[in-house]
Amino acid sequence: MDLKNSMEMNEMKEAIRNEIIEFVKKYEEKPGINTKWGTPLVGFGDARHPFILSLKEVISSSHQLPSEVLPDASIVIAYYVPFTRELAKVNAEYGRMAAPLWAESYEETNAMFGILNQHLIGFLEGLGFKGAVSKEASTFNQEKLISNWSQRHFGYAAGLGTFGINNMLITKSGCCGRYSTVVTNLPMEPDQPMEEELCLYKKNGSCGICVRNCPTGALTISDFNRYTCYELCQENAAIYTNFGSSYREEAGDAANSVGSDVCGKCVTGSPCAFWKWR
Ligand code: B12
Ligand code: SF4
Ligand code: SF4
């Protein structure tokens, strides 16, 4: 890539970043939207990075590769949309169950992702490129409790953050937020995975607050039991049936298809939720 092209590609990255940031800012103002979001972070991951190509072995043979979503995939745009400290405080202080606003914000964010991703694809097409979204991203296997499109792993490959012992992908802005991705055929220099370790426990053995805040014991310093975690998420889903039912309808679990699978106590009361210095 020559200098002129690399400058144009940097400008393109900035344009895409701004498109996402501005979209979220405007979406927040829409009538009926109760969620407030912070400034999104955007990364550009290499669709053919060895880490991405290893996901079928690391996660499962049914995990999709970017080329199965878009045949000439080159870059996966991964973005992180943070919630606010106020929302984190409300959920952290609510007791064992998730706060209603946490459940509502989960649903509103997932709904926004669908619309924002289509907007982004239109934006890319306007520039002469292609974009596509994995259908697997909005569902997960109800027995194994894993998805065939791991947003966190694409976020990691795009340099957005590192995995904490709370299992979240922690960014420089924190981990109290949600991830989405769009696969593209953009011809640009990809971002690389972050080298700095952001989880305090992994960095120097301190903290461990997420483990202490987990009401079920699903999270320990060395392990995460997704089934125990899901039990509490399902208890919350039985209460929060009016905000939406992300992932459930697509999973085809008719008997259990309503409600918001949330909890988030390992995220909302943690120092890595927003980092004090930001
Ligand atoms: C299935 C699912 C669940 C299930 C199962 C839990 C699980 N698998 O993590 C249930 C319903 C229980 C659940 C619960 C929650 N979830 Co959930 N869930 C998903 C979903 C749909 C798929 C996750 C998945 O299957 N990943 C593949 C598996 C194998 O990977 P993994 O579980 O992430 O495990 C890997 C990491 O731990 C990683 N890892 C650990 N250390 C290291 C170090 C290195 C160097 C590397 C490379 C990797 C690595 O390796 C593991 C194996 O590969 C994603 C959305 C998506 N499509 O990606 C959201 C998602 C993971 N959930 C999310 C959230 C926020 C939650 C909850 C807080 C609920 C809530 N919103 O209130 C809890 C948190 C539980 C926890 N501590 O992990 C967010 C995480 C955001 C973030 N900041 O990271 C996601 C990404 C949704 C989103 N769009 O943002 N979830
Ligand atoms: S709360 Fe502390 S130990 Fe847990 S993930 Fe965050 S930084 Fe790591
Ligand atoms: S979401 Fe709740 S139950 Fe699951 S690990 Fe986090 S704190 Fe524990």
Whether the per-residue pLDDT at 176 is higher than 70: the answer is yes
What is the model's pLDDT at position 275? 84
Cβ of 232 closer than 6 Å to ligand 3, yes or no, is yes
Atom of ligand 2 nearest to the CA of 198: 7
Strands (E), the chain: 41-46, 75-82, 131-132, 161-163, 169-171, 177-184
> How many angstroms separate the alpha carbon of residue 215 from the centre of ligand 3?
7
Atom of ligand 1 nearest to the CA of 261: 11
**Entry pTM:** 0.96
Count other C-beta atoms under 10 Å from residue 71's C-beta: 10
What is the model's pLDDT at position 170? 98
Nearest CA to ligand 2 atom 6: 272
> How many angstroms separate the alpha carbon of residue 167 from the centre of ligand 1?
6
Whether the per-residue pLDDT at 34 is higher than 50: the answer is yes
**Domain segments of the chain: what residues?**
3-273
Give Cβ neighbours of residue 147 (< 8 Å, ≥ 6 apart). Answer: 136, 137, 139, 140, 141
As given in the structure block, the two tokens for residue 105 are 């914000």
What element of type H or E holds 12? helix 3-28
| Encoded amino acid at 263, one letter | C
Cβ of 266 closer than 6 Å to ligand 3, yes or no, is yes
What is the model's pLDDT at position 9? 83
pLDDT tens readout for residues 44-95: 999 999 999 999 999 999 999 999 999 999 999 999 999 999 999 999 999 9
pLDDT tens readout for residues 142-154: 899 999 999 999 9
